[in-house]
Amino acid sequence: MSARLSPETHPLTARIDLAAPLDRKGYEAAGGYRALRKAVKEMAPGDITKLVKDSNLRGRGGAGFPTGVKWGLVPMGPDAGRKYLVCNADEMEPGTFKDRLLMEGDPHQLVEGMIVAGYALQATRGYIFLRGEYVLAAERLNRAIAEAQAAGYLGKNILGSPWSYELFVHTGAGRYICGEETALLNSLEGKRANPRAKPPFPQIAGLWGRPTVVNNVETLCNVPHIVQNGAAWFHGLSQGKSKDAGTKLYGVSGRVKRPGCWELPFGATAREIVEEHAGGLQDGLKLKCWLPGGASTDFLLPEHLDLAMDFDTIAKAGSRLGTGLITVVDDRQNLLAVLRNLEEFFARESCGWCTPCRDGLPWTEKLLAALMRGEGRPGDLEALEQMTRFLGPGRTFCAHAPGAMEPLQSALKYFRAEFEAGIARPPAQAAA
């Protein structure tokens, strides 16, 4: 991969080698840690935050919140005290695997991003909260951190500056809810992974009550490239396809010929991603519908394939960009089976903190299972529609249940006949 891609057009993936990722010396030879030296020796922390804000880097974990704006909410100055930077590497969204590619194939890139971002925030400590199943990523990240420490990029008085910073990998206990930033912080503190009430937001009172920024892996990997090359360069990467700047890691899973993940200009169309890069659906199959960015997004239809894969365009179509990794559903798949599988996952992963999520998600899965068996009852579809409202935004403690309702509400909208076919007919009607 690295031999074929240019760092000018594919900054995130040009150095990736999944078999033998670059060590520190190899990473430095390829241009690594130049951004760190530039940041610490030539720039003030506030200048980096302004640069990231000007670049229009938006969070790549799913929400798309402007990164520079988030950083700007953190108190600065000599009286700010201890601050933390946390990388959300708890990649458990079904259908999403982009961050694993970055961590296993180029671990020093994330380490440098964590250090540069830590300097901008004047954080005293950073944590990479890693999905526990990512054993190889943990091994490679810990090795990269040790190499960075030995080179003086971590520890006391980094590169001769008065700033000191430590970085650690923390492996999670395997709960999807830790993808929610405040549940992640509770887990990092050794508590049960329940979401916290907001406000206060983590930028003011986060980890152990101190100002904390939580960013996604892909987001942080962009930071060194922005510092090194500037905001105008980052805007140019999208090639005018979107007002969202930079490149994006897009992927496809499902019954396509070449499932995978690719770094493309932000705003590439779903058709380009599915048909050109993933090779289209396997022979004999037709596209039925697709999820644009993980399991907690609304289904879209084949006629939506020519939409740009950016935040605003996909939102206008009635879904969310999410993580940008597409899951295709073909015409031979039972949509009720797909939905039941998703809702069973979401029900199992609920933290149980609030009643609508704790009780509503298992009930949703049971209704879908009955419809799959042809044992649905009149009123079941109306009950499912009620669930999409009762478990929707503003009705639960966090976004877990509303996310679980997104594929369900869109399936009811586009494929209602498949739900109706699962309702059992009365004996007299069946005999006729």
Q: How far apart are CA 142 and CA 147, in angstroms?
A: 9
Q: How far apart are CA 281 and CA 259, in angstroms?
A: 10
Question: pLDDT band at residue 426, thresholds of 50, 70 and 90?
Answer: low
Per-residue pLDDT tens over the stretch 314-372: 999 999 999 999 999 999 999 999 999 999 999 999 998 899 999 999 999 999 999 99
Q: How far apart are CA 263 and CA 251, in angstroms?
A: 9
What is the mean predicted confidence (pLDDT) over 242-262? 96
Single-letter residue type at 179 = G
302 DSSP 8-state letter: G
Per-residue pLDDT tens over the stretch 294-320: 999 999 999 999 999 999 999 999 999
Per-residue pLDDT tens over the stretch 38-70: 999 999 999 999 999 999 999 998 888 999 999
Q: How far apart are CA 391 and CA 400, in angstroms?
A: 9
Beta-bridge partner residues of 129: 88, 170
Q: For residue 179, what pLDDT is reported?
A: 85
Q: For residue 212, what pLDDT is reported?
A: 97
Buried b (16+ CB within 10 A) or exposed e, 9-27: ebbbbbbbeeeebbebeeb
Question: pLDDT band at residue 1, thresholds of 50, 70 and 90?
Answer: very low
Q: How far apart are CA 153 and CA 146, in angstroms?
A: 10
Q: How far apart are CA 302 and CA 133, in angstroms?
A: 34
CA distances 188 to 84, 111, 136, 141, 312, Å, are 12, 19, 21, 18, 33
Q: How far apart are CA 344 and CA 362, in angstroms?
A: 7
Question: Could you give all domains of the chain from N- to C-terminal order, each with its CATH number?
Answer: 24-236 (3.40.50.11540), 247-330 (3.10.20.600), 335-420 (1.20.1440.230)
